[in-house]
Amino acid sequence: MAYRWFCDFDFMDTIPDYSIFSQNRRRRFNDSAIFRQIFNRIVRSCIKTGLISGETVVSDCTFIPANVSWESRIEVIKLVKKSTVDYLNVLEEELRKTERYVKASPVIMEKIELKSSTDTDCGYIHHDTKKGLGYIAKMTVDTANGIIT
C-alpha cells in the first residue's frame, strides 16, 4: 500500500513489474551514480532530523525471482581474483614485519556463472528453498524507526 501511495497509483491500477524498473535503471542511467547520491542525501537528512540514530541496526537479504524463462539461462565465464580474507589481513600485516617475508600472490581463476540471456543483471541463486534466476536484495535497517540505511 505504501508503494502505491508513493508512486501515486490507485488501488485498482496495475503495478509495473519490478524488472521494468531495473531494466530502465540499467539502460537509462548506465555508469551514473545519481541513485546512490539521492539515497545518500536522504539518509543524511534522516540523520540530521534524528530519524536514524545508528545505535542499533540489523541487516538481511532476500531473493527476488527474475521474470525470465529458465530456458534463457547461459553460462558466463569470468576471471576472479582469490586472495586472503579480511580477518587474515591483520596477521599478514604482522608477517610483513618479519625478515624474509614473501607476499603471497592472489590466484586468478575462472568462475562459471549462470545468467539469463534476456536479463544479464540476474544470476542463478541456490540457497535452501530459494533457487532460480533472480537477484539478491541486501538491506540494513536502523531499528529506531525502521529506516533503510
Residue by residue, pLDDT tens for the chain (149 residues) are 777 777 787 878 877 766 666 666 566 666 667 878 888 899 899 999 999 988 888 988 888 888 888 899 888 888 877 665 666 777 777 788 888 877 777 778 888 888 888 888 888 888 777 888 888 888 889 988 888 88
- Rounded Cα gap, residues 144 and 40, in angstroms: 18
Cell 531499528 maps to which residue? 143
Number of CB atoms found within 10 A of residue 74's CB:
11
114 within 8 A of 75, measured Cβ to Cβ: yes
- Rounded Cα gap, residues 33 and 25, in angstroms: 11
- Rounded Cα gap, residues 117 and 71, in angstroms: 9
Burial code (b: 16+ CB inside 10 Å, e: under 16) for 16-46 equals: eeebeebeeeeeeeeeeeeeeeeeeeebeeb
What contacts 140, CB < 8 A, 6 or more positions away? 57, 58, 59, 148, 149
**Single pTM value for the model:** 0.46
